[in-house]
Amino acid sequence: MHYLTKLVAVVGVFASVYATSVVAQATSVPFGRGGHDTTQPVEIVSDTFTVNQNRGTAEFAGNVVVGQGDMRLSAGKIEVEYASETEGEARQIGRLIASGGVTLVSGGQAAEAQTAIYSIKNGNIILQGNVLITQGENALAGQKITINLSDGSAQVEGRVKTIFKAGGSE
């Protein structure tokens, strides 16, 4: 389903339950539970795999799913950039660059974007291009979001639109 169609569907649902809309240039929202352990093993499943030892990269293509702990990232293609080698140790993943229908899921939260860059060492994920985040009955849209997996925070930029379910009793 196209990004705008999904956003319109989400907006329609929230409007029917007395939703409130806020438009801003940038905002911060929590994402995930925080405390994500970036040292956990990274599992990648795909249809094809190509490695380039000279460049220190690998490419996974076709129905790619990356798992680390309870976080899942899926995309059409993911390029892995390896960190510099330490003598006597195997190369570690430095960052993952995902493209082609990116979806990120952590706990009960999900995000969609055109591209994503996951810098494993610092625990940041940058989602870009028609980003849509859903957290239960709430939704958030923007052009760029930076998620800090360590503390669960997120910074959203680029004509941000948020939709929150109206509160109940006081």
pLDDT per residue as tens digits for the range 133-168: 998 888 889 999 998 888 878 888 988 998 887 765
pLDDT value, residue 38: 82
Its pTM stands at 0.76
> Per-residue DSSP letters for 29-88?
EE-S-S---TTS--EEE-SEEEEETTTTEEEEEEEEEEEETTEEEEEEEEEEEEPPP-TT
CA dihedral 159, 165, 168, 170 (to 10 degrees): -20
Tokens coding 47: 């249809």
Q: Which fold has domain 3-164?
A: lipopolysaccharide transport protein A fold (2.60.450)
Query: Facing residues of 53 across strands?
Result: none
pLDDT per residue as tens digits for the range 28-72: 455 665 677 888 999 999 999 999 988 889 999 999 999 998 899
Tokens coding 114: 């055109």
